């Protein structure tokens, strides 16, 4: 085994016990003589996985039977389109709160299909913070309000979910899904691409309130209707069964850690190790996000020069740490510290950062 310390932004690190179990069961799932990839998605084995995974998400988010949990394809980007297709009727508009690249993309996609207002944007700060209450301009008749709870590229996160009135609330939680306790009932629709925090690429988890589902537009293609997937329990067409199987194992792992409160405590400790390093470096490391908006999942910062940033990434790699280069659109350094990344990896990174700053 030559495991690295994996700070990738997505696809990202998975819990080692999950990978060990996948390996163990890969050739013969429960002694059936074939892998999960090779059996029908209508088999009772797969149906059990599908059911367990959706129950687990419902439990972790505190959702009742009035919510459906779906496993769909097309990634979070597919949801950018499916949400307005279903919930943005002609003659109405939706409100988008934008604090980074993903929210920007979600709003642009909705604007391709209908009227999508930018109800707030922190673009003028280069997405260094969440919008302040006074900057948010909501339409009392909006079909829905869309937020991104954590912006993966800029490293900006809502520390508490804002109070935005009584319009239906839709959230892209791709990069902080199940990283902390969240009152799921405040949302009408939550979606998250699995490859950041809960599994491999290829599946997006959606939790949707039944009453919201019933308001969906008619006349859209069958495959793009939430109701199609809800009615068929995510088995309308062939699901990404291997990905859902791994997601189910990750969800069991989360519950075994003690649930979201315990997960959050560890995530806080991990992020603090690295943010403390920035704050105590006398300006050598400059965090991108303002302190009140710092992400606990994606920690973004700059060094005094691009040459030093390249050197930082190179030396870190030599010491076994990978995935630290910032997103190609913003540069700098980004350490993604999703649920599966252990505290010890963050400690190693923090120690490396101190030594690097001293040597430079």
Tell me the catalytic residues: 102, 172, 196
Q: Which residues contribute to the site for ligand PLP (CB under 6 A)?
A: 10, 75-77, 102, 148, 152, 172, 174-175, 193, 196
Would you tell me how many other CB atoms lie within 10 Å of the CB of residue 44?
9
The nearer residue to ligand PLP, 75 or 331, going by C-beta atoms, is 75
Assign residue 232 a region (left: φ > 0; alpha: ψ between -120 and 50; beta: otherwise).
alpha
Least distance between ligand PLP and beta carbon 252 (Å)? 22
Of 80 and 356, nearer to ligand PLP (C-beta) is: 80
- DSSP designation for 294: B
CA–CA separation, 251 vs 3, rounded Å? 22
Rounded Cα distance, 144 and 212, in Å: 10
Cα angle, residue 117 at apex, residues 112 and 122 outer, rounded to 5°? 110
CB of 127 to ligand PLP, least distance (A): 12
Which residue, 10 or 131, is less far from ligand PLP as judged by CB?
10
Question: Considering beta carbons, is residue 240 or 332 the nearer one to ligand PLP?
Answer: 240
Q: How far apart are CA 93 and CA 115, in angstroms?
A: 5
Closest to ligand PLP by CB, 192 vs 208, is 192
What is the spatial distance between Cα 139 and Cα 144, in angstroms, rounded to a whole number?
A: 9
- Rounded to whole angstroms, how far apart are CA atoms 195 and 296? 17
Provide the minimum distance between the beta carbon of 356 and ligand PLP in the complex, in angstroms, as a whole number.
Answer: 27
Question: Coil, strand or helix: which one is 178?
Answer: coil
Annotate 85-100 with DSSP letters as a single string: HHH--TT-EEEEEE-S
Can you say whether residue 132 is alpha, beta or left, with left for phi > 0 and alpha for psi between -120 and 50 degrees? beta
Name the residue whose CB lies closest to ligand PLP. Answer: 75
Give min distance, CB of 193 to ligand PLP, in A.
3
- Smallest distance from ligand PLP to CB 268, Å: 20
């Amino acid at each position: 085994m030559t495991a690295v310390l994996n700070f990738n932004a997505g696809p990202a690190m998975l819990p080692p016990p999950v990978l060990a179990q996948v390996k163990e069961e890969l050739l013969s799932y429960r002694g059936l003589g074939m892998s999960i990839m090779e059996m029908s998605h209508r088999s009772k084995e797969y149906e059990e996985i599908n059911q367990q995974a959706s129950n687990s998400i419902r439990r972790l988010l505190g959702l009742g039977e009035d919510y459906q949990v779906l496993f769909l394809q097309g990634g979070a980007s597919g949801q950018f389109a499916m949400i307005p297709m279903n919930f943005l009727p002609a003659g109405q508009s939706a409100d988008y709160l934008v604090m980074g690249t993903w929210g920007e993309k979600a709003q642009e996609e909705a604007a391709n299909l209908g009227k999508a207002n930018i109800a707030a944007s922190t673009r003028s700060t280069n997405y260094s913070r969440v919008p302040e209450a006074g900057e948010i301009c909501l339409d009392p008749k909006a079909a829905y309000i869309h937020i991104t709870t954590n912006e993966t590229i800029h490293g900006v996160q809502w520390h508490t979910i804002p109070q935005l009135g009584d319009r239906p609330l839709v959230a892209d939680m791709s990069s902080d899904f199940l990283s902390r306790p969240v009152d799921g009932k405040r949302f009408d629709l939550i979606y998250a691409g699995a490859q950041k925090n809960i599994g491999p690429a290829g599946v997006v988890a959606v939790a949707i309130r039944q009453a919201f589902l019933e308001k969906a537009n008619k006349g859209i293609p069958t495959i793009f209707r939430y109701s199609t997937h809800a009615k068929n329990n995510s088995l309308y067409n062939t699901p990404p069964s291997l990905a859902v199987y791994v997601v189910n194992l990750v969800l069991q792992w989360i519950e075994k850690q003690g649930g979201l409160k315990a997960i959050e405590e560890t995530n806080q400790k991990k992020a603090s190790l690295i943010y403390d390093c920035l704050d105590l470096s006398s300006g050598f490391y400059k965090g991108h996000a303002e302190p009140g908006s710092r992400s606990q999942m994606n920690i973004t910062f700059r060094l005094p020069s691009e040459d030093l940033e390249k050197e930082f990434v190179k030396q870190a790699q030599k010491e076994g740490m990978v995935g630290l280069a910032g997103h190609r659109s913003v540069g700098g350094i980004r350490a993604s510290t999703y649920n599966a990344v252990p505290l010890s990896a963050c400690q190693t990174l923090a120690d490396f950062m101190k030594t690097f700053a001293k040597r430079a």
